[in-house]
Homo-oligomer: A and B are copies of this chain.
Amino acid sequence: MAKLFQHGTLAMLVDGLFGGTLAVSDLLKHGDFGIGTAEGLNGELIILDGAPYQALADGTIRVIGDDELLPFANVNSADFEGRAVLSDIEMKDVDATLAKELSYQNTFVAIKISGTFRTVQTRVVKQQERPYPTLSETASKQQVFNAEDVRGTVVGYYTPDLFHGAGVAGMHLHFIDDQHEFGGHLLDFKADQVKLSWQLLDGLDLNLPIQDAEFMAHEASDAEKIQQSISESE
C-alpha cells in the first residue's frame, strides 16, 4: 500500500505562505505522480511518470528544475489498481462515476484520466512577490485557458472532507496535454471517451516545513476564515 505524500497545507497557502520549503528533487523521492505549485505560487505543477512540469501563467509549460523550491505539493508512487472507460463524461461527474466502482469517500485516492478531451478549461495562478498577498487576493490574477480536441492527462487526488484545510477536499485535479504545451489546474472538461485509472491510498504522509521560521512563527487563521478564503479562491 502507498500513502499520499503531501508537503505543506492548503491553510498555509490561504494565509499567503508561498515561500518554497521543499526542493523538487526531494519531492520526487516520494512519488512519480502528482500535483503542486512552486515558490511564490508560481504556476501549477503536474508530475507525470516522474517528470515535473510547471504550467505558467503566460500559457507556457516547462520542466521545473530539481533544486527549485515548492510550498505545496502532493505525490504518490503510481500503481493504479482500477480502470474504467468513461463515455460522454464531464468533470463534475467524475466523483459519482468513481463511486459506482468502489467506496472511496473516506480515504485518499490518486486519479488519472487520459485520452482525447473534447474541451478542457484550466486556470494557472500567477507568481507573487513578497510581501505575499493571501490566496484569495491572488484570484483576480489567475489566467484561464481553453483547449479543444486535446490529447492529454488529468492528474490529481481525491481527499476526504475531514482533511479540508490540511489538504484540498474533494477532487483536486490538474491537466497536461501530451505535447506539454497546455495545462494547469483543471476547471472543467468534456470528453466522449477517456480512460479513468484510480489507486486507493491508505493514508497521508504529511510533511511540514518546521525548519522554516516564517511557518513556525505564523499565527494561523482560524478554521472558519480558512474555509471562507478557500471558497473565495475557487
Quick one: copies of this chain in the complex? Answer: 2
A88 CB → nearest B CB, Å:
28
Report the nearest B residue to A11, measured CB to CB: B162
A63 within 8 A of B: no
Please name 30 pairs of A and B residues whose Cβ atoms are closer than 8 Å in the assembled complex, sorted by A.
Answer: A1-B210, A3-B206, A3-B207, A9-B162, A103-B217, A104-B216, A105-B220, A106-B215, A106-B218, A106-B220, A107-B208, A107-B210, A160-B220, A161-B220, A161-B222, A161-B223, A162-B165, A162-B166, A162-B223, A163-B166, A201-B210, A202-B209, A203-B205, A203-B206, A203-B207, A203-B208, A204-B205, A204-B206, A205-B206, A206-B206
Contact of A106 among B103, B163, B205, B216 (CB under 8 A): B216
Which positions 169-227 of chain A face chain B at CB distance < 8 Å?
A: 200-211, 215-220, 222-223, 226
Interface size range of chain A in the complex? 35 or more
Contact of A210 among B202, B209, B210, B226 (CB under 8 A): B202
Most chain B CB within 10 A, of A162, A206, A209, is at A162
Bound Cα distance A163, B210 (Å): 16
Bound Cα distance A164, B11 (Å): 13
Bound Cα distance A163, B160 (Å): 13
Report the nearest B residue to A164, measured CB to CB: B223
Q: Which residues of B contact A209 (CB under 8 A)?
A: 202
Chain B proximity mask over A61-90: 1 for CB below 8 Å, otherwise 0: 000000000000000000000000000000
Q: Which residues of B contact A104 (CB under 8 A)?
A: 216
